Structure 1
Amino acid sequence: MQPSPIPSADRRRQRVHRAVRELLAEQGFRISMDAVAARAGCSKQTLYSQFGSKQGLMQSVVRERLDLTASSLDLGGEDPRQTLINFALEHLEHLCEPSVVATCQLLSAEAHEFPEDAQTLYRDGCDTLQQRLANWIESAMRNGRLRHDQPHLAAELLLSMIVGLDFERQRFAVPHRARLSARRHWAEYAVDAFLRAFATAEIPAADPAPIPQNN
């Protein structure tokens, strides 16, 4: 069976999102609707009609990325460990993309010049990801899969454990976990450590995953 063709509106949205991601890595917060329209091959009026504003366009791009990262949480699988490992792997894969590292470096350098844009981007991205993970953790706690504690703080703890120092390694151009096998080992180690910390009395914690000697 041939796959269903992608509707033209969805194809245009994909082109626009790709243009935004590319331009953010090149221009940072100085990105304009004119530049996006030129890169995506559409009119500025089309952008305003579809997204409403530059902020709405940015939110659409961020939301698409968050939906990909949090897809394993939304599926609601029966195995909390595998669900969190899948989440961790998706998050690490995204952070391992060179364009993401370049974008974050540029946006961090410009944040003091564009404080409102920076705060909005942080709220729509980092805060929202933390909240979606916290919602999943809270549900797992209610269902007796995790020990009852503060879900929002637990989500922040797990996110920091997942990322570790690898993003900083990339920012400073030192060797990082570029291979999927290395990221998987780290994801399993971080998730297992988290689950041991929040294990219930009824559910034994998993044995820690082995960590490879090199990255």
Structure 2
Amino acid sequence: MYAAALAPAAQRRLRVRQAVVQLMSEHGFRFSMDAVAERVGCSKQTLYSQFGSKQALMRSAMLEELALATVRLDVDANDLRAGLLGFATDQLERLSDPTLVAACKLVNAEAHLYPEEARSLFTDACEKLLERLAAWLQAAMRRGQLRHDDPHMAAELLLSMISGLDFERQRFNLPYRDSDASRRQWAEFVVDAFLRAFAPAATHARDAVPSHRFRQA
């Protein structure tokens, strides 16, 4: 959906989210509410009346990012592979965004200087993404689409598989998967490997070769 098609309030939230990510890519945690207001095109007082504080504004921006990161999981819960593949490709595209990569570099470098902000950022971004994915996988387990297991561990494993080493390659200015085709190929490999690993027990039993086939007649 294009920004012009959004309601005014939604357009403002979109501009706030974009401004926060851009400013973090330039200044890390050291951006001001004045700078956000200037980029959004509103007054600082408007931001304070809507969010209350810089910390709350950052949290709102991260929750907006979370909503975008997980929207594909709700497209078709019954088509497990399609849902995971859409999520994986979206996640890879986000992780290859130069602005996001630059923001993460600065945030990592400044985390020891702003420990409270860093913890909040991790909670509102990484942990909530993990929880959202874990809940989605748990629902698939209850439907019998996946083997019953710890959904949080399965979600963390999947997120690690999706990111691979591409984020590290970008941090060290090395070639990475920077095309839709290469990201799609990796996403398919990861999702199919994950589905094989967490296939329902009945599927494993059906696919297993009966031991009697190897007995001598």
Give the TM-score, by structure 2 length: 0.88
2:14 aligns with: 14
Percent identity of paired positions between Structure 1 and Structure 2? 57
RCO comparison, higher one (Cα < 8 Å, 6+): 2
SS at match of 1:66: helix
* Larger helix percent: 2
Residue 49 of structure 2 aligns with an amino acid whose one-letter code is: S
1:90 aligns with: 90
Residue 196 of structure 1 aligns with an amino acid whose one-letter code is: R
- The answer to whether the 8 Å contact 1:145/1:203 transfers is no
- The answer to whether the 8 Å contact 2:147/2:198 transfers is yes
Aligned length: 203
Q: CA deviation at 1:17?
A: 2.1
- The answer to whether the 8 Å contact 2:70/2:87 transfers is yes
Unaligned runs of 5+ in 2: 205-217
Report whether the alignment pairs 1:169 with 2:169: yes
Q: CA deviation at 1:5?
A: 4.8
Residue 32 of structure 1 aligns with an amino acid whose one-letter code is: S
Q: CA deviation at 1:37?
A: 1.2
Note the 1:123-138 alignment, pairs <5 A.
123-138=123-138
1:24 aligns with: 24
Compare 27-36 and 113-122 and name the one that shifted more. Answer: 27-36
- The answer to whether the 8 Å contact 2:131/2:152 transfers is yes
Note the 1:1-215 alignment, pairs <5 A.
5-203=5-203
| Deviation by residue 1:134-161 (Cα, 9 ceiling, x = unmatched) | 0011111111000011000010000000
- The answer to whether the 8 Å contact 1:146/1:199 transfers is yes
Unaligned runs of 5+ in 1: 205-215
Return the alpha-carbon distance in structure 2 between the equivalents of residues 101 and 191 of structure 1: 24
- The answer to whether the 8 Å contact 2:4/2:11 transfers is no
Residue 31 of structure 1 aligns with an amino acid whose one-letter code is: F
Residue 45 of structure 2 aligns with an amino acid whose one-letter code is: Q
Residue 187 of structure 2 aligns with an amino acid whose one-letter code is: A
